[in-house]
Amino acid sequence: MPSGKPELLKDLLAGRGGLSGIVERAAATDRLARCVQSALPSEVARHIVGANLRDDRLVVIVDGAAWTAGVRFEARAIRQVLSEAQEIEVSRVSVRVRPPI
């Protein structure tokens, strides 16, 4: 139960949750995005800005709508690379466009 006291930064960093959990999750999504990029032609791969797993579905994030078709076209190759390199089985590949910053 929270006591209302602030937590020490060293305690947040040491725990499985908190900041260390966020850092671990960010590293895992970065590895996933790099694996997806390795399955794509270079002209499409450089437009991948992220990837995430939602149950058995891979969500690939691109920097523009023009690249969604290229990712969808290569969905089979992406699934194969993930299966072989990461031992991740995905049933579907979805593509989302990152909103402009």
Would you state the pLDDT for residue 2? 54
Would you state the pLDDT for residue 12? 63
Q: Which amino acid is at 100?
A: P
Q: Are 95 and 72 in contact (CB under 8 A)?
A: yes
Block means of pLDDT (10 residues each) for the chain, 101 residues, are: 67 65 87 96 96 95 96 97 92 93 75
Would you state the pLDDT for residue 91? 94
Residue of 1, 19, 3 lying closest to 11 (CA atoms) = 19
Query: What is the secondary structure of 17-52 as a DSSP string?
Result: SHHHHHHHHHHHHHHHHHHHHHTS-HHHHTTEEEEE
Could you tell me the domains of the chain?
Answer: 9-97 (3.30.300)
Would you state the pLDDT for residue 100? 78
Would you state the pLDDT for residue 1? 43
- Rounded to whole angstroms, the Cα distance separating 86 from 39 reads 12
